[in-house]
Structure formats: C-alpha cells, structure tokens
Chain A
Amino acid sequence: MLLELKGISKKFGGVAALRAGNLTVQGGEVHLVMGENGAGKSTLMKIAAGMYRPDGGEILWRGERIGFARPADAAAAGIAMVHQESLLAPHLSVAENIFLGAPPLRGGGLVDRQRMREEAGRLIASHNFPLQADWRVDRLSPAGKQLVEICRAIQRGSSLIIFDEPTSSLSESETREVFGIVRKLRERGTGVIYITHRLAELRELGDRVTILRDGETVHTGLLAETPANRIIQYMVGREVSAIYEREPVEPGAELLRVEGLSCSPGLKDASFSIRAGEIVGIGGLMGAGRTELCRALFGLDAPEAGRVWLGGREVKIRSPREAVAAGLALIPEDRQRTGLATALPVGHNITMAHLGEVSRMGLLKLEQEREICEGFIAKLRIKCESPKQRAGRLSGGNQQKVALAKWLLKQARVFLFDEPTRGIDVGAKVEVFETMDALARAGAGVLMVSSELPELTQVPDRILVMRQGRIAGELPGRSSQEEIMKLAALERKAEA
C-alpha cells in the first residue's frame, strides 16, 4: 500500500471541512475520489500533499507513519499534486517551472540552465507532450499548464500523483490527452489519485473509487462493482432534513426572459424565463456556468449573443449600473470580495446601491438614512451594535442580510442570488429563504443559484440544471437530489 489516510479531520475557523477522511492507494492504481462540492475532497488531498496539516487522524506512507510539515516534505517522499488552478510561475519558462524549487546546480550554487533545458526537453520528448522547454508558461493553454505540472511530478520521480479535478477547465481533446497520461502513469506503476465529479469520466479511467460526503468517507470499492446510481446515492446521501418548506404562490406575469445568452467561455446558449412570484433554482456542479450566467445577466461580462427581456421590454445591459436601473439585483457568492465593503459601516453598505433614495441634489439626508438603516436592521433581524458598526465584523449570516438589504431600499424586480447560503449557519439560512419567499410574494422574481442539493430540492418552484455552460434540463420543484445530480453530472449519452 502506497498511501493510507485514516480518520483524517480538519477544521477551518470552527467549520469542519473533514471529519473522517479515509483513503488507501496502491501503486499502479487509478483511484477516483468523488463527492459533491464541499464534501472535503480537495481538503483531504491537500493534507496528503502536505499543504494543510490535519487536526486528527494518521497518514501512513509505504506502511510507516508520517507527518508532512510542508509541501516540500510530501514532494520529497514522492507525492505530487496537479492542481485545478495552476500553481506555476507564469513568467518563467516551461523548463524553469518543471525544475522549480529543485533546479540542477553547478559549482558555486549557480543554476545550470543548459542542463535544465536539456533535461526538460528530454522529459517532454519522451512523453510526446506538445510543449517546448523554453516556452513561457503564461502563454500555455490550461491543458498545457497541467502538462507542465505533470512533467514536474514525473521529473521528481513521484510515486503518487494527485490530480485535482484536472479536466474541469479543459476541452474534450485536452481531456483525452490527460487521460492518456494517467494511463501511462498507471502502466509504470505510479499511484494516481484523481478527483472528479463528472461521472462520465469514471468508466474510462478508474480502478477504485472513494466517495466523500460532508467530510466523511462513505464508500470505497471497485469501480466496476459500483453502478452510477449507487455512486450518486452515496454522494447525495439519504437524510434530507426539512430545512424549509415553501408554500408556492400562483406565478404572475413573466418578469425576466432570456434567450440564447452566450458568454464565452463559461456560458452557452442559455434560455429561460422567470415569472413574478417564482423562485427558480439553478443547480449544477462547480464550473457549470451558473455564476457566469449571473455575471452576464448583471452586465459584469459582455455576452456575445442572446437577448434579455425585463417586464416585457427588451433590455441591453452593458454594466451593473444599467442592470440596477433595469430592476435587477445581484447578491454575489463572495461577500468579502464583491458583496460588501467590509471595512465600511453597515449603514453605508445598506444604502450603497440606492443612495439617490436618501439624498437630494447630491446631499445626503443622514437622519433619514439612519432611520432607514435601523428599519432594515430590525426588519431583517441583522445582529449588529448600530448602523455604524463595520460590516466585516458581523457573522456570515448577518453579512448576507446586509448584502441583501442593499437591494431592498428600492425594490428590484428580479433578484439573482448566487449561493445565498454559503458559509452561514442553519438559522440564518432559513431567514434568507424567508426573505426570498417574501420577495417573491411581493411580486418579484427570484433566481437562486445553489450547490446545496437539499435546499435546491426544497426552496425553488422550478430547478434549472446547468452542465458545462449549458442549461441541461429543467426539473419541477421538489425533485429528488438524485435527479438533479444525474442531470448535472451525466453526459447526454449516459442518460439514455
């Protein structure tokens, strides 16, 4: 046995990312690791590669207990990781990146550039990779960058290589290229861990599969003996605690209509509509194009094709300002980066998008502003000392309410919620759903992007499932988690 991970646990700021991660890998095996977004796959792999230190559990390497203090320790032992987002130095050459951290030296500690170039060239040639040693890395395609990371792993003589969702950013031909490399590595007796959440990739590649759910390993077995349906069941789990039950309302007139919206590279030919009073869910795996859809609608990216109607009138939205003016509101996924100015007071954040409502001729009516903010703080039960408290000091759930309050000052017609419950506790989640429901009841349309299958099955009236930039299908509200997962993960041919 090459690597054994036993009962690994890891917390980030009080939140358990891993509770009981178990995994064993042999040489000459391709071991798939699967799980929903946030199941703990990447955390477990980063622990194996020495990037995080586990809080509990043990790691055995070739049968011996071992602890990695930093990535270099794992690399020295023979574990390499090919990252989803390339961790290369973009301004250096392919050869320099392959030998990054351990370049060949000559006398006096100087780097032997010529030997480095030659060895890199030989390595690339022996695998027939479409690369050249002196190319600059930032000019390479995503697949090319991964090839460089793979070269680095091979060059170091790694006996275990971890691929973290390598194909999520790759084209079909590039994906086949990566698969070919994985097979070659297996033939040479290298152990391969391959994280994926695309089922179609499975059969072609894996020997065994380990499935994680909520930070725990729930199943390990031979891939040939685990049918796709069973894998989906393991991934989504059985227990569906009732988070929120929504009484659907009779939908009114069509508020938002989108036809053929495309925005390369992430969004292809999206068409759908939302009616007043509706909550429409958008499901899909990471990188399926959900955030891209929100961004294109809100004028943050310029779509190259497609038409959008708001309240029956065709609109051209080229900037967030025009989106706001047209009656759209976006509550983005990343509150710290895009949703809030965390260093500014709560009150300033609440009125930020509609300052015109509390000012006359450019002059702010501070007294009125304070009253309005206090009103929202009470109405949405935002826990804060006063409107003057810095937004960054609130809890995640309260921050989300502030990000939402921003759009209530002058009510928008269509609300785009991107992962509205990310990083907030259960109580706050319910409050967010209640607010969404209230908005819909007041006649707004709500689009809710979510990676949380339980809430997708319970909150929306309809669910659109995206896959690889396209809307792969529509499901009625209260569809099962399996149905959503199948649409999200299976290729068309596998569905048939």
Chain B
Amino acid sequence: MIQRLLPFLTLAALFIGLALASPHFLTSTNLSSVIRQTAVINIMALGMTMIIICGGIDLSVGCILAMGGLLGSMAMGAGLPIAVGVVAGIFTGLACGFLNGLMTTALRINPFIVTLGTLGIYRGTALMISNGLPVHNLPPAFSFLGEGTLLGVPFVLWILLVCAVLVHVLLEHTKLGRYAFAIGSNAEAALYAGIPVAFFTTAVYTIGGALTGLAGMIEASRLMTGQPTAGQGYELQAIAAVVIGGGSLRGGEGSVVGTLVGAFIMGLLSNGSDLLGISPYLQQAIIGAVIILAVAVDELRKRKLG
C-alpha cells in the first residue's frame, strides 16, 4: 500500500520540502508558473496514458504538438477567429494521431517504429509548410489560452482539469477505456473475446493526437508564436510522467491521477532546482534518476503482488 502511494508521498514531500527551503516557492506567481509550465506536458501525458495503457507508445507527440500549434496559428494568422484556430490545431493533432493508429493497426507495424517514422514526417511537414519560419501575427486575445486567469487560477489549470476528468471518465467508465485496458493487458485475449482491437487501438491514438493538438495551441499561446520547431523532447517527458505515475510500457496499467502526479513531480523538480540555484545540467540528471527510481519501486511492488 505504501508503495502504491509513493508517487503521492513523493509529490507531497517535494512540495513541503520546497516550501521550507525557498521563500519564493509558495508565492502565487511561482505556483502559477509551475502550473503553466507543466500543463502542456500534462495534457500530452493524458493522451499518452491512454496510449500506453493500450499497449502502445507515441514518440511523435512532440512533432504533433508542433503541427497542431503551427496550423492553428496559421489559421488565425490568416484572419480566422481564435476559436476556429484552436479547433484547427486540435483537429490537426487528431489527424496525426489517427494516422499513427491506422499505420500501427493496418500495417501491423510496431508503434515504436511507426511513431519514430512519423516523428520525422510530422516535423518535416511542419518545417516545409512554414518554410522553417515561426508564425507571429497572432491576435493578442489568443494569449488568454495560455497566460490568462479565470477565477484566480491560471486558465490552463481549468483546461487541464477538464481534460483530466474527461480522460478519467473515458478510461474508467466507458467501453473504450475498458477495451484499452484489455488490449494492453492481453491483445490476444481481447481478440479472442471479439473486441474490435484495431478500431479501438486507432481510436486511442486519435484521442491522444487531439489532446496533443490542444497542448500545441496552449504552447503557441504561451509563446504567442506558432513554432515549427516546438515540442522537441516533449514526447520523452510525457512518457516519463506516465511511467512515474505507475503506467507500464507493457500495457494494461496506468491512471489519470498517477500521470498528473508524475507530471507535477517533474515540474516541481525542475522548478525547485531553479529556485535553489541547482545547475540545469544537474536537473536533467536528477529527473532521469527519478524516472528509473520510480519504475524500480513499481516493479518491486508488482513482483510482490505476483
């Protein structure tokens, strides 16, 4: 039991430790900056949670984020309303995720390989469309998405909460979620039970893509530019958040709450290192060590369970 709670305890300990160690930590400016920084990774990680539960992986999410942010920004830059731009970004992500799912299931290629390939394809496409140049002429009101405040908390926190509740309901209260767990836990048994495995696997990648498209719009709003080079390395952070939160790359395991905790642990580690003046080089090493430690502890717990 104590081991199952370990991610939560770690997060709490980290929070209390930082509150004691730095007078700048418990300020609203700092906390909202942590939330804003973490939200993008967090929303991507929610999609990744579903994909990993389903026994898959998506290495292309960083590039999907760039595609979504870029195309959404271009739509707004061309004079379309902000809402249309945001929806365009989400749909771009959705289409990219759908392609990943389709290739994984129809061509029966390992998702690691498929998304390694689309990682290059999506990034290359984003660079080609934009000629490698960022989109700048965004409507000023668009900054509300990433930087605005609603009822005293950052607007992105509301978006994150809505997405988290949505994904939680999908996973725990719908057929789709149940099938995702079944496919990830034992794809063969799922097939034998008559579950349309290919359809639901594709659906999961598609939802993951849509969430990443949304994250791309938030990223674009925070920078007020549509960057074709945005999101590099984000895929690994998203995967790390899922894994720290108890998701298993073997599939069949993972939860929304775990992933949120995982993402915030990484966010706090990074924020804390900044506040305490720890070198950013060392930060990366610390986060890497935490990932390995988290998985090691989780494996230990599972082995005990048998």
Is A337 engaged at the interface, CB distance under 8 Å to the other chain? Answer: yes
Say whether, besides A325-B194, A352-B182, A355-B179, A337 and B174 are in contact (CB < 8 Å).
no
The B-contacting residues of A in range 99-150, CB under 8 angstroms, are none
Is B304 engaged at the interface, CB distance under 8 Å to the other chain? Answer: no
Is B4 engaged at the interface, CB distance under 8 Å to the other chain? Answer: no
Is A321 engaged at the interface, CB distance under 8 Å to the other chain? Answer: yes
Binds B, one of A154-162, A238-246, A260-268, A361-369: A361-369
Q: Which A residue sits closest to B183, measured CB to CB?
A: A341
Is A323 engaged at the interface, CB distance under 8 Å to the other chain? Answer: yes
Pick the contact of A320: B173, B176, B191, B305 (CB < 8 A). Answer: B191
Write out, one digit per residue, whether chain B residues 159-196 have a CB within 8 A of any chain A CB (1) or not (0): 00000000000000111101101100110111111111
Q: Which residues of B contact A348 (CB under 8 A)?
A: 178, 181-182
Say whether, besides A320-B194, A325-B194, A352-B195, A359 and B189 are in contact (CB < 8 Å).
no
Q: Which residues of B contact A340 (CB under 8 A)?
A: 186, 189
Q: Which residues of A contact B192 (CB under 8 A)?
A: 298, 300, 320, 330, 332, 338-339
> Would A324 and B194 count as touching, CB distance under 8 A?
yes
Pick the contact of A321: B181, B186, B195, B306 (CB < 8 A). Answer: B195
Say whether, besides A321-B194, A343-B253, A355-B179, A363 and B173 are in contact (CB < 8 Å).
yes
Pick the contact of A342: B186, B194, B196 (CB < 8 A). Answer: B186
Q: Which residues of A contact B253 (CB under 8 A)?
A: 343
Is B252 engaged at the interface, CB distance under 8 Å to the other chain? Answer: yes
A338 CB to nearest chain B CB (Å): 5
Q: Which residues of A contact B181 (CB under 8 A)?
A: 341, 344, 348
> Would B188 and A344 count as touching, CB distance under 8 A?
no
The B-contacting residues of A in range 342-360, CB under 8 angstroms, are 342-344, 348, 351-353, 355-356, 359
CA distance A456 to B258 in the complex (A): 50
> Would A344 and B193 count as touching, CB distance under 8 A?
no
A356 CB to nearest chain B CB (Å): 7
Pick the contact of B193: A320, A337, A343, A364 (CB < 8 A). Answer: A320
CA distance A337 to B179 in the complex (A): 17
Looking at A324, A332, A340, A343, the one whose CB has the most chain B CB atoms below 10 A away is A343
A421 CB to nearest chain B CB (Å): 19
**Range of interface residues on A (Cβ < 8 Å):** 20 to 34
Chain B residues touching A, majority SS: helix
Pick the contact of A343: B188, B194, B252 (CB < 8 A). Answer: B252
CA distance A406 to B193 in the complex (A): 8
Pick the contact of A364: B174, B194, B195 (CB < 8 A). Answer: B174
Is A184 engaged at the interface, CB distance under 8 Å to the other chain? Answer: no
Q: Which residues of A contact B194 (CB under 8 A)?
A: 319-321, 323-325, 353
A399 CB to nearest chain B CB (Å): 12
CA distance A108 to B170 in the complex (A): 61
Pick the contact of A362: B174, B186, B196 (CB < 8 A). Answer: B174
Q: Which residues of B contact A298 (CB under 8 A)?
A: 192
Is A381 engaged at the interface, CB distance under 8 Å to the other chain? Answer: no
> Would B175 and A359 count as touching, CB distance under 8 A?
yes
CA distance A344 to B195 in the complex (A): 16
CA distance A393 to B302 in the complex (A): 12
Q: Which residues of B contact A323 (CB under 8 A)?
A: 194
> Would A352 and B193 count as touching, CB distance under 8 A?
yes
> Would B179 and A344 count as touching, CB distance under 8 A?
no
The A-contacting residues of B in range 252-274, CB under 8 angstroms, are 252-253
Q: Which residues of A contact B178 (CB under 8 A)?
A: 348, 351-352, 355, 364
> Would B175 and A338 count as touching, CB distance under 8 A?
no
> Would A359 and B185 count as touching, CB distance under 8 A?
no
Q: Which residues of A contact B252 (CB under 8 A)?
A: 341, 343-344
> Would A337 and B195 count as touching, CB distance under 8 A?
no
Q: Which residues of B contact A353 (CB under 8 A)?
A: 193-195
Q: Which residues of B contact A406 (CB under 8 A)?
A: 193
The B-contacting residues of A in range 251-279, CB under 8 angstroms, are none
Pick the contact of A338: B185, B189, B305 (CB < 8 A). Answer: B189
CA distance A319 to B189 in the complex (A): 13
B175 CB to nearest chain A CB (Å): 5
Q: Which residues of B contact A344 (CB under 8 A)?
A: 181-182, 185-186, 252
Q: Which residues of B contact A364 (CB under 8 A)?
A: 173-175, 178
Q: Which A residue sits closest to B198, measured CB to CB?
A: A319
> Would B174 and A363 count as touching, CB distance under 8 A?
yes
The B-contacting residues of A in range 165-211, CB under 8 angstroms, are none
CA distance A427 to B144 in the complex (A): 67
CA distance A332 to B185 in the complex (A): 17
B9 CB to nearest chain A CB (Å): 23
Q: Which residues of A contact B305 (CB under 8 A)?
A: 390
> Would B196 and A321 count as touching, CB distance under 8 A?
yes
The A-contacting residues of B in range 271-306, CB under 8 angstroms, are 305-306
Say whether, besides A321-B196, A344-B181, A344-B252, A339 and B189 are in contact (CB < 8 Å).
yes
Q: Which B residue sits closest to A340, measured CB to CB?
A: B189
Q: Which A residue sits closest to B176, measured CB to CB?
A: A362
Q: Which residues of B contact A351 (CB under 8 A)?
A: 178
Q: Which A residue sits closest to B185, measured CB to CB?
A: A341
Looking at B181, B191, B192, the one whose CB has the most chain A CB atoms below 10 A away is B192
B248 CB to nearest chain A CB (Å): 9
Q: Which residues of B contact A359 (CB under 8 A)?
A: 174-175
Q: Which B residue sits closest to A332, measured CB to CB?
A: B192
B249 CB to nearest chain A CB (Å): 14
Q: Which residues of B contact A343 (CB under 8 A)?
A: 185-186, 252-253
A337 CB to nearest chain B CB (Å): 6
Q: Which residues of A contact B188 (CB under 8 A)?
A: 337-338
Looking at A338, A348, A352, A393, the one whose CB has the most chain B CB atoms below 10 A away is A352
Q: Which residues of B contact A330 (CB under 8 A)?
A: 192
CA distance A321 to B190 in the complex (A): 10
The A-contacting residues of B in range 196-229, CB under 8 angstroms, are 196
Residues of B within 8 A of A (CB): 173-176, 178-179, 181-182, 185-186, 188-196, 252-253, 305-306
Residues of A within 8 A of B (CB): 298, 300, 319-321, 323-325, 330, 332, 337-344, 348, 351-353, 355-356, 359, 362-364, 366, 390, 393, 406
Please name 17 further chain A to chain B contacts, defined as beta carbons within 8 Å, in addition to the given A320-B193, A364-B178, A390-B305, sorted by A numbering: A300-B191, A300-B192, A325-B194, A330-B192, A332-B192, A338-B188, A339-B189, A341-B186, A343-B186, A348-B182, A353-B193, A355-B175, A362-B175, A364-B173, A364-B174, A364-B175, A366-B173
Q: Can you list 17 A-B pairs, Cβ within 8 angstroms, ordered by A?
A: A300-B191, A320-B191, A323-B194, A330-B192, A338-B192, A339-B192, A344-B185, A344-B186, A348-B182, A351-B178, A352-B178, A352-B182, A352-B195, A355-B178, A356-B175, A359-B175, A406-B193
Please provide the 10 A-B residue pairs with the shortest distance between their CB atoms, ordered closest to farther: A324-B194, A341-B185, A353-B193, A341-B186, A321-B194, A352-B193, A320-B194, A343-B185, A338-B188, A355-B175
